[in-house]
Structure 1
Amino acid sequence: MLAGRSDSEVLVVTHKYPPSIGGMQKQSYELIKNLQSYTIVHKIIFSGKYPKALFFFSVVPWCLFKVWANPRIAVIHANDGLMALFLTPLLWLTGKKLAATVHGLDVIFKSTLYQFWLRKYLSKFTWTIAVSDQTRLECIKAGIPSARALYIPNGFEPLPSPQKNEAIYSLFRERCGEAVDNKSLIVSIGRPIKRKGFVWFIKNVLPQIQAPVLYVIVGPREKNIGLILWLSKVLPASVFTKLAHLFGFGLEALELDKLMKESDYRDKVLFTGKLPQTELDQVLLYADLFVMPNLHVDGDYEGFGLVALEAAVSGLVCLAARVDGIPSAVKDKFNGLLLPSGDADTWGITVNKLLSDKEALKDLGRLFKNNTEKKMFTWDSMAQAYFKLFQEPASDSL
């Protein structure tokens, strides 16, 4: 047993886990991996090999069996608000401490019944752990007592820096021709949904940029686009919008594909779809600027913004919108630059200024990289914070 390791064990329950991709999946994986250095971690993980509904509706008896078989389990942790919702019966069926990590949308999701559950039952969980300070404030606004609403940021650890490989330019030349070599490369990463602001940036900021540029968006294409479009036609608009926010339907991929065919954007925009990590690393290495032009979308929410940290440790200046939980990841003029969300003129002026002096831009990127690495909250730091919290007694009886 490691020094300082606890005999109080933890059961982690998650439906967001690799090989599925995303910030929540990464957080779940790293929490489990690093928490095991401090205590014994039991796991209930959705494998993806059967319908997710079956997982949700069988998870309570599964938890009860785990607790019965492992009486040292002291804390049951849900990886997000939806998972916590299905674990609610454990408030009465076990005497264990319950914790839930929330990421943003799972707090502000606009459903009367869901918000009632937040106030009535999530508020009774021993701890609700927010991944950004703004998300914690949203928890308190939703009715969770401030003593039970905590902020533990996501961790981050950069991968070993790869060497530049000019083969990545074949990806760009296939779409944009040889002229790409003389263009400034602006990059965004994420699922093509409205709150990411990719289409907004193309239509409102890109026309203002004076230097020749290629705007590259890396993110997964929606696999079930036909079914989603059918649902958009048969469901009431309000219901479909809530589903789109909840499941992150990447509908803006259709708009991106359309824009890439228009003469105004044909040689300026490239939506790559999902890329292997090796190719994504190369895109970041060759990029001149990274942008997170997020928009406020009623009923949707950006919880943190790990991609901003990935950009910073790659030596890139990240321009990010001051919206939702992004300021918990991007500290203005420390590891990135925060700009007003939706202010196209400010974005255009800032991009033009940065691209006008590439050497100064590289120097600023090196400064932000150094600052990020010095103050980085690692995945191990995150796990230690969870471990320390899990050792504390419940603040009061339910």
Structure 2
Amino acid sequence: MKKQRILLITRNLPPLVGGMERLNWHMADELSKYAEVKVVGPTGAAAVKPENVQVLESPLKPLVLFMLIALCKAFWTAVCFKPNVIIAGSGLTAPLVWLISKLTGAKSVVYLHGFDITAAHWVYQKIWVPFFRRMDCVIVNSTPTKILALNAGVLEKDISIVHPGVTLPVSAQSSNAIQSFKKKYNLEHKKILLSVGRLTTRKGLKEFVENSLAYIVQQEPDVVLVVVGESPKNSLGAGLQTREEILEVARKNQIENHILFLGVITDNEQLATIYEAADVHVFPVRHIPDDPEGFGMVAIEAAAHGLPTVAFATGGIVDAIGEGVSGYLIENDNYPELSQQIINSLQEPLKVASIQVFAKGFAWGNFSKVTNLVIKNDK
């Protein structure tokens, strides 16, 4: 049987850093096992692309230039490549996908991530969101994102939930690697809380430090919050927090010595070591109606390494954590309960094996099969 031909159009790809970027990279990689895949993406993406995927680049900035050049390159690629399916990696490129699909007869698909639907800018709501209702298939990353899509007028029959996936570790990191990491950063004999992700308003790290960390340190004096991530430089629409703002809050509470910033880490082995060195992954995402957390891939990544997550039950995070299995979900903005559950998790850890079993259900192999099924069987 002749392979399907798939064209993916997205601004969210490495070298940009974030959950959507990892998802689009893996989506292209996994779909290339079933189909011929070409991608129109941002400058720099070709250097870190999946092996069997061709990438055509468009300048990242300004946004108007990215959209214009991406449209031209995607249209010419579609004319020559004749894809069966054209996918928008986020809501941003949905209008491009719809237009080119109409001109070439390809099936139009968009993968929506929560904020894609709720972004408050009136131009986006008036022009972009209506295109979601015109697509042949709308893929959403979680149950809450499906509800947002339904509220935006997308028909239920056109929506499929496909959770983002995770790369399962082949083996655990060596004890020597973990000890070397702890020794390097003076974390020996410490209890490590880990935060992984961009420093944005939604992620709520400053509020966590202000409202929870001081109490946790009071109860567990050996606790250190290790932060992997920085404020994003090329993100659209995200309110930012800085390490200086977070440290200022920590100084006011006299806990600045209990926070360690490691910056952005893209090396998978190094990140795996950090996950396995930590005791609890904290995910204090704030409930912001116009800026929802679409899924929470980092909770699944932590689980893949046996690390439990304690998080507020907001947005798609409710799909990413198995209550009492891979972590705990706390009522939104209830910082005292969040603090106490983190302390409880330090004192009575969940079983690593059970956490990893939960993560296996989100393996990228499962993601590719479900996505392929959605694309093949849609109208």
Range class of TM-score, shorter chain: 0.7 to 0.9
| Residue 241 (structure 2) pairs with residue 251 (structure 1) | yes
Specify the alignment match of 1:75 in structure 2: 85
| Residue 261 (structure 2) pairs with residue 271 (structure 1) | yes
Tell me the CA shift for residue 365 of structure 1.
3.5
| Residue 69 (structure 2) pairs with residue 58 (structure 1) | yes
Specify the alignment match of 1:202 in structure 2: 209
| Residue 319 (structure 2) pairs with residue 319 (structure 1) | no
Contact in 2 for aligned 1:218/1:272 (Cα 8 Å): yes
Specify the alignment match of 2:160 in structure 1: 150
Query: What is the TM-score normalised by the length of structure 1?
Result: 0.83
Q: Map 1:21-60 to 2 at 5 A.
A: 21-48=17-44, 50-52=59-61, 53=63, 54-60=65-71
Residue of 99, 110, 114 corresponding to 2:120:
110
Which AA in structure 2 matches 1:313?
A
Of the structure 1 ranges 258-267 and 149-158, higher mean CA displacement relative to structure 2 is found in 258-267
Specify the alignment match of 1:382 in structure 2: 367
Task: Give CA-to-partner distance per residue, 1:175-203, whole Å, 9 cap, x none.
Answer: xxxxx434311111111112112111111
Tell me the CA shift for residue 221 of structure 1.
4.2
Which AA in structure 1 matches 2:213?
L
Structure 2 gap ranges (5+): 45-56
Query: What is the TM-score normalised by the length of structure 2?
Result: 0.86
Identical-pair percentage: 24
| Residue 162 (structure 2) pairs with residue 193 (structure 1) | no
How far, CA to CA, are the matches of 1:263 and 1:172 in structure 2? 22
Specify the alignment match of 1:349 in structure 2: 340
| Residue 376 (structure 2) pairs with residue 391 (structure 1) | yes
How far, CA to CA, are the matches of 2:357 and 2:86 in structure 1? 37
Larger radius of gyration: 1
How far, CA to CA, are the matches of 1:393 and 1:101 in structure 2? 14
Q: Map 1:114-263 to 2 at 5 A.
A: 114-118=124-128, 120-160=130-170, 161-164=172-175, 165=177, 166-173=179-186, 180-209=187-216, 210-212=219-221, 213-222=223-232, 246-262=236-252
Specify the alignment match of 2:356 in structure 1: 369
How far, CA to CA, are the matches of 2:237 and 2:124 in structure 1? 15
How far, CA to CA, are the matches of 1:366 and 1:389 in structure 2? 31
Contact in 2 for aligned 1:222/1:251 (Cα 8 Å): no
Closer/same/farther in 2, CA of residues 112 and 317 from structure 1, 3 Å limit: same
Structure 1 gap ranges (5+): 174-179, 225-243
